[in-house]
Structures are given as C-alpha cells and as structure tokens.
Amino acid sequence: MEPSTSSSSPAVLDLLLILLAFFPFSSSYLLPPSIIGSTIEHQNHTAISSFRVVNRRNLIQCPDANPHLRINVSSKHSPLSHDEFVNVTVSGVFHPSEGDWVAMISPSDSNVRSCLLNKIQYAQTGDLSELPLLCHYPVKAQYVSNDPNYLQCNKQERKKVNNTASEVATYSGTVSFHVINIRTDIEFVFFAGGFETPCILTRSGPMKFSNPNQPLHGHVSSTDSAATSHGTMIFTFVNHRASFLVSQMRLTWVSGSKEPQEVRYGDGRTLTSTVTTFSRDDMCTSFLPSPAKDFGWHDPGFIHSAVMTGLRPSTAYSYRYGSDSVGWSDKIQFRTPPAGGSEELKFLAFGDMGKAPLDPSAEHYIQPGSLSVIKAMTEEVESGNVDSIFHIGDISYATGFLVEWDFFLHLISPLASQVSYMTAIGNHERDYVNSGSVYGTPDSGGECGVAYETYFPMPTSAKDKPWYSIEQGPVHFTVISTEHDWTENSEQYKWMEQDMSSVDRSKTPWLVFAGFETYDFERPLQIKCRHRPMYSSTNGMFSTDDKFTKAVEPLLVQYKVDMVLCGHVHNYERTCSVYGSNCLAMPSKDRNGIDTYDHSNFSAPLHAIIGMAGFSLDNFSQPRGWSMVRISEFGYLRGHATMEDINLEFVNSNTRQVQDRFRITKRQK
C-alpha cells in the first residue's frame, strides 16, 4: 500500500475484516475450535486468547440457583488505596469446578449481561457466530483454582438447608487481585463455565477508591527538539568567566480532577499544570465500532502537564505534584539528562514492552517479558548509571482497552519518574482503518494515537505529527514515525532531510548529537530511531516494508547515519553496515574481542532490532548474510556514548548478563 493514498476503500477493508472472522491466519493458538474458526485475529502479532474474546461467548443461564453463594472482598484499606492487593473469596459453593472464575469490572455499574443487539459491533475482537457476553469488557479475571485448596475442597463449611436441621457441605476459595486507582468504582463478579461458556453466579457490591482525584503516574521527558524552538538554552555571564546551560523537563501525570494542579520542584519553584483529556468521540471507528469506541472504553481522567524550567543538565532535583485539594504525590528525585554537546550519555533503549499483571490474572493483552525488563532497568536507574530512556514504539499495548494505560503507567513509574522517558509511536498506538495511518490494520483498537500522544507529549511540532529529534550528551537522536507518510516529498520526509542535514558538526562530533570542537571529525555519530525495521531475519506479515526501505534508506547513507534502532519484531538482531541488503563493511574485533564498527570512512549504518522488551518473542527464520547476531531473549539495549566512541550492550533482563557487545568508533583526524 502506498503511504500517501489508500489502495482500498473503507468498505472493502471492512468487508475484509468480516471475511477474516471466518478465515483466521493461524490455528496455532490454544483455543477451542469454535473460537479458532470464527475469531478475527488482529493483524501483525496480535494474539487471541480465550479471555480476550470472553465478551463474544454466549451468556447461558446458570443451571442452579444456590442461596449460599457469596463473594467477599477483603482489603487493608476502606475505601481502596491507590495501589494494593485485595483478597476475593467466593464461598457457599456446592461443587468447586475448574471453570469457576472471578472478574474485576469497572465501572461497577458495567453491564455484564448479554448485549443482544450489539452482535455486529464485536467483530473486531470476537467471533460472528455467537452473541456477545459482556457489554463492558472485564479489567482482569482469575480462575478460583489459583487457590489450590479450592478444587481439593479443603475449605469446607456446613450450611443449613431451608432453615431445617439438615446441612449441606459448601466450599470456598480465595484469589488475590492487584488493584490500582483507576478513578471509577470497581466490582467483582463470580462466573461459572470458564471463559467459553460462562454464566453469572453472584457479584460483590461496588468498591470505591479513597481518592479518585489523586495525582498519579508522574513521568518526565525532555523538551529539546528540532521540531520546536524549545529546549536547552545557553546563558553566558557578562564577564565571560563562566557559562552554564539551562534546560527544561516536562512532567506529566494523571488525576481524576480537571482543576489545574501544581508541580513544586528544586529550591521551591512552583508551576501550574495545563490539563487535557480525550473522550469516546476522539476514538477512531468504522461501521464496526472499535474497542476504544465501545466495550473497551474507560474514562482516562485528566492528564496534567507542566514544563519545569531553569534546570541544570546532569543535575539531581526533587519534585512533587498535586494540590492541597486533591493531595500530593510523594517527593521524587529525578536527574536531568546531559546537555547536547556534553561529553557523555548513558541511555537505555528498547521497543515493544507493554505490561503484565502483578497477580495471576488473565488480562486483555499480556506481554510476558515486561516485568523482568522493568525490574532490571529500575535497578539500573536506581544505581545512578542511566541518563535517559528511549521506548521506540508499541508502548502499552492497550489497543483500545483504555484502562490498560493506567496499569502500564503504574508499572513504569519507578523508571519514568526519575529519568527522561522518551517514546516513539508504533502500530499498536496509531494504526486503524481509514484513519490516515500508512498501514490500514486495526492494531490500535481505535485509539489512533490519541491516547499515546496525550499520555506522552513528546517535543513534536503538532498533534499527529509524532516525529522529533533530541540532543543529549554526544548524541543526536532522530525519532520518526513509520506509521505516518514517509514517502518522498511528504511532510515527514522533508523534515527528516532538514533534521539530518542541519547538525552543527562543530558542536557535535557524534551525530546522535554531541559536539566538541577539539575533535575535528568529518561528521558526528547519528542514531535514527523508528518502530518498524528495514532488516529482520524473522518472517512475518508486515515485519518489514520494502517500500519504506526504498524510500528512506538512501537518506541514511546520504547523511551518514551511524546506527538505526528499530522495534516491531520481537527479538534482538544486529547487522553489519548494510545498504540495499548488502554488507558494505564488517565490524572488526578489538583487543577485547568486541565487534567494532569503524565509521571513520563511513559506508552504511548498522541496524539493531530491539523489540525484545516484553511481547512474546519471535523466532528467527533462515539468517541473512547481513545478520551478525540474533538473540531471542527478553532484555534491553544499554548505551554509553563518549566523544571517542559509543559502546552498546544487549542485556538479558532475566539473568542480567550481557549477551552482545559492540562499539562504533571514529578515528581522530
């Protein structure tokens, strides 16, 4: 498909979605035949599980009315705190079954009965042969058999039968749910019949959060960008004996209150937040309503943002955010990244992370490696050895189930609240049929980039133009969107040319922006960040796009881009210095046996695919001639750039072991 024009009409694409319901791409998922034969599998690595299509199962009538059934929720806090585990106990059960399960729903008045008139609306995530189960999708769910005592009938209680002397044995089980403040009331519903033939047994009463307006999930990002005029400023004293840099950092957080709040930081400075949000009306849809528009919708609350000014680079500050009326966050310490042109930068980079539950729940979409990656990176951040983080596409994988953004933001808080957390848009944030995205897949579930750009305001020139560049230390990062028009003469293409051609090379000896005039390099190191790769040894639908490669790759050679970082494919792979699928140069081994790319005489960039941060890993097919290293393990890329070289390591997040090392150098002239 040409990015600038649609090769299929909306009607044809909608028809294709319906046809896909009856002809799934793969039968490899462990699902009963009734689901496999009638489920639309989202294109491009969007797996389907029994729970993901639970709202497409027929809701049957429970065969037995049991007067003893109860569901009780015990919490250490009443009302609920912003982050805790609650125990949900079902009791009075006559015959414990493997198919008994508990769902957490929100808001508490969600309709968990059948929506008999809405069959067609669920075509994008379910099957067309059954009526829908839930009008509102559960936040998460667990089988009661997660309590090993349940099926073994170890927890027994005798109950009177109809107020007579006769007694009957009943049984109970308890499961633990991790709950965070999602602002709306929650409720727990007890089902029988599993995810495939469910029926409602009983439900708890609604549970409120103690402070739905509480400010939460603060995360910081840099504002310096070639897409805007904002960012690092240089001030020089009149006496010329000293100069210093002053930078800005943006803080973004979530609250249930639309009233402006404050951030207090540094030596007592205070700023008032700007407030925004989004609604159902902002979501994309077709004549088949999208998850974001319909059953996956959850109110996002209000997103607050403030730009902290007057900051020194590479300096630690403390801050807290909120107000006297809604409460304040804890005091948090963060460190500003080094200024562009300074001598070094330590950063982490990865793509395709998403999130996973902290309890044994099933959720709409789980990325199993995300927890180990977040834990390992948190240890690095807390050690003080990280200046900045780059998450290049496929951020939360909410894909139209909006409450999952809250869970993602909660998980990354230990990272994103302490160092600059920069992001790039991916297909699971932006793509949707007839929405202006390059690829007409339903991968965003109807979000169309709206949620992403609201939660992560990057230093871009305008909404839905999510490309920017950032200067930190000796590195210039050019961040583009593979989901927006990148064809020659497009707005983004022209911006790429302008950005890569305008580097001040007297300032930045490495063009991933840093410069130091002492080193008269021909050019600096440049790293280009994008979501979809140009090269991958993994076969799969939309893994790479030859049209994208043909359009953009010549620019990378023309402007001597040193390294390309990509996600989208869920593994780690490193190439030679490649152009046109040919190795134009090979790395050599240094004295420590580390692959070293000498870019003193530049030939072509190397590519590193780093989409191994959470999503289920992809296997490799036959390796290509340009492929140097292939690893299918969860982890992240660790980088250390100086004026002389840049050292990079792939870190296995489960073992903390470095599984690949390489360097890029340029000789001093």
pLDDT in tens, 611-641: 999 999 988 887 889 999 999 999 999 999 9
Q: Which of 643, 633, 635, 637 is nearest to 664 (CA)?
A: 643
Q: Which of 607, 603, 602, 611 is nearest to 624 (CA)?
A: 607
Q: Which of 619, 615, 603, 533 is nearest to 574 (CA)?
A: 533
Q: Which of 444, 346, 352 is nearest to 392 (CA)?
A: 352
Hey, is 144 helix, strand or coil? helix
Classify the C-alpha dihedral 542-546-547-548 as positive or negative.
positive
Is residue 113 scored above 80 in pLDDT? no
pLDDT given at position 523: 35
Is residue 39 scored above 50 in pLDDT? no
Across the range 514-527, mean pLDDT stands at 33
Q: Distance from CA of residue 494 to its chain's centroid?
A: 28
Hey, is 71 helix, strand or coil? strand
Q: Which of 507, 512, 505, 530 is nearest to 472 (CA)?
A: 512
**What's the CA angle centered on 52, arms 48 and 57, to 5 degrees?**
110
Ramachandran assignment for 51, one of left (phi > 0), alpha (psi -120 to 50 degrees), beta (any other): alpha
Residues in Cβ contact with 121 at an 8 Å cutoff, skipping those fewer than 6 apart? 115, 132, 288, 289, 294, 295
Least confident of 288-292, 362-366, 642-646, 665-669: 665-669
pLDDT given at position 129: 44
> Is-contact 598 666, C-beta < 8 A?
yes
Is residue 87 scored above 60 in pLDDT? yes
How far is CA 87 from each of CA 68, 385, 576, rounded to the nearest angstrom?
19, 38, 53
pLDDT single digits (tens) 368-377:
999 999 999 9
Give the alpha-carbon dihedral of 261, 266, 269, 273, to 10 degrees: -20
Question: What are the tokens at 233?
Answer: 């400023």
For residue 301, count CB atoms less than 10 angstroms from its CB and return exposed for 0-12, middle for 13-18, buried for 19 or more: buried
Confidence of residue 1 (pLDDT cuts 50, 70, 90): very low
Question: What are the tokens at 247?
Answer: 């930078």
Is residue 335 scored above 90 in pLDDT? yes
How many other C-beta atoms can be found within 10 angstroms of the C-beta atom of residue 509?
Answer: 26
How many other C-beta atoms can be found within 10 angstroms of the C-beta atom of residue 30?
Answer: 8
- β-pair type (344-350, 526-529): unpaired
Is residue 3 scored above 50 in pLDDT? no
Classify the C-alpha dihedral 37-38-41-47 as positive or negative.
negative
Express as a percent the part of the chain with pLDDT over 70: 79
Helix, strand, coil % in the chain, rounded to nearest 5: 15, 30, 55
Place of tokens 């250490």: 76
How far apart, in whole angstroms, are the C-alpha atoms of residue 216 and residue 227? 29
Across the range 353-357, mean pLDDT stands at 97
For 338-665, which CATH class? alpha beta
User: Which one is predicted more confidently, 526 or 56?
Assistant: 56
The structural domains of the chain, with segments of one domain joined by +, span 10-203, 338-665
User: 331 φ, ψ to 5°?
Assistant: -75, 130
Supply the DSSP string of 547-560, one letter for each residue: HHHHHHHHHHHHTT
How far apart, in whole angstroms, are the C-alpha atoms of residue 458 and residue 472? 15
Is residue 387 scored above 90 in pLDDT? yes
Confidence of residue 84 (pLDDT cuts 50, 70, 90): very high
- β-pair type (606-610, 563-566): parallel
pLDDT given at position 246: 63
Across the range 347-353, mean pLDDT stands at 95
> Is-contact 136 105, C-beta < 8 A?
yes
Please give the sequence-ordered ranges of beta strands (E in DSSP) within 436-534, or none if there are none: 468-472, 475-479, 526-529
Confidence of residue 521 (pLDDT cuts 50, 70, 90): very low
Is residue 340 scored above 90 in pLDDT? no
pLDDT given at position 30: 39
Instruction: Quote the pTM value.
Output: 0.87
User: Which one is predicted more confidently, 513 or 443?
Assistant: 443
Element (H, E) at 187: strand 187-192
